[in-house]
Amino acid sequence: MFISFEGIDGSGKSTQLVLLRDVLEQSGSTVMTIREPGATLLSESIREILLSTKQTITPTAELLLFSAARTQLVEKVIEPALEQGTVILCDRYVDSTTAYQGFGRMLDMESVKSCNRIATRGVMPSVTFFIDVAFEQAQQRMQFDTAAGEPDRMERAGREFFERVREGYLAIAKDDPARMVVIDGARDRAAIHDDILRALRDRTSLPL
């Protein structure tokens, strides 16, 4: 079972991923948590390049780098783990590329879709949670996050960019309601967690 979490930076998706991991592990599932870009040596190296503020990266180079990091992760980690029956919880996946590079950077959507098809090798999550919060609220959450440090290259993109990204996620959810669950992320952690558990009970046979 493959489950991904999406949302703008600071929306609270990593927090929810950890809460879900704990419940799944307590109920006996074997769980693997991964983040994108990351989780393989190559993908973590690409992550460093992408998030560094030391250089500018063109939108197309950005699309290709995120896609390269993803396809390495899919082939080396996700496909083998799924074969073993592991529950994979992924902090971001291909919808991030559609939302950030497609809607945010406004790259040609057909090119984005082609890259996504190549990178994922057709591997898609069974369920994707989009934790929906407004830009201001996400910013506020990041300010209070003592572990966050300085804004990375992506986080410096500004309000209009993140508003396009959020609209992008809502458009993806509208297109694919069978997979993507929109969660009102403006509430407290426990209320969001309850919604996630309820959606998984409705949509999967996970022991929750």
The footprint of ligand TYD (CB under 6 A) covers: 9, 14, 35-37, 51, 66, 91-92, 96-97, 100-101, 154-155
Minimum CB separation of residue 101 from ligand TYD in Å reads 6
Residue type, 37: P
Kindly identify the residues of this chain, within the stretch 161-190, that bind ligand ADP according to CB under 6 A. Answer: 188-189
Instruction: Name the phi and psi angles at 124, rounded to 5.
Output: -125, 150
Minimum CB separation of residue 98 from ligand TYD in Å reads 8
> Which residue is it, tokens 């983040």?
35
Minimum CB separation of residue 125 from ligand TYD in Å reads 13
Contact 56, 154 (CB under 8 A): no
Contact 54, 117 (CB under 8 A): no
Minimum CB separation of residue 51 from ligand TYD in Å reads 6
For 169, residues 6+ apart whose C-beta sits below 8 A from its C-beta are: 6, 7, 8, 95, 99, 130, 132
> Which residue, 156 or 198, is less far from ligand TYD as judged by CB?
156
Is 131 buried (19+), middle (13-18) or exposed (0-12) by CB count in 10 A? buried
Examine residue 37 and tell whether it contacts ligand ADP (CB under 6 A).
Answer: no
> Which residue, 12 or 102, is less far from ligand ADP as judged by CB?
12
Interface pick for ligand ADP out of 2, 3, 4, 9 (rule CB under 6 A): 9
Interface pick for ligand ADP out of 48, 145, 175, 184 (rule CB under 6 A): 145
**Partner from ligand TYD, ligand ADP, none binding residue 97, C-beta < 5-8 Å depending on class:** ligand TYD
DSSP lists the bridge partners of residue 3 as: 89, 127
Q: Is 180 helix (H, G, I), strand (E, B) or coil?
A: strand
Return residues touching ligand ADP (CB under 6 A): 7, 9-15, 141-142, 144-145, 188-189, 192
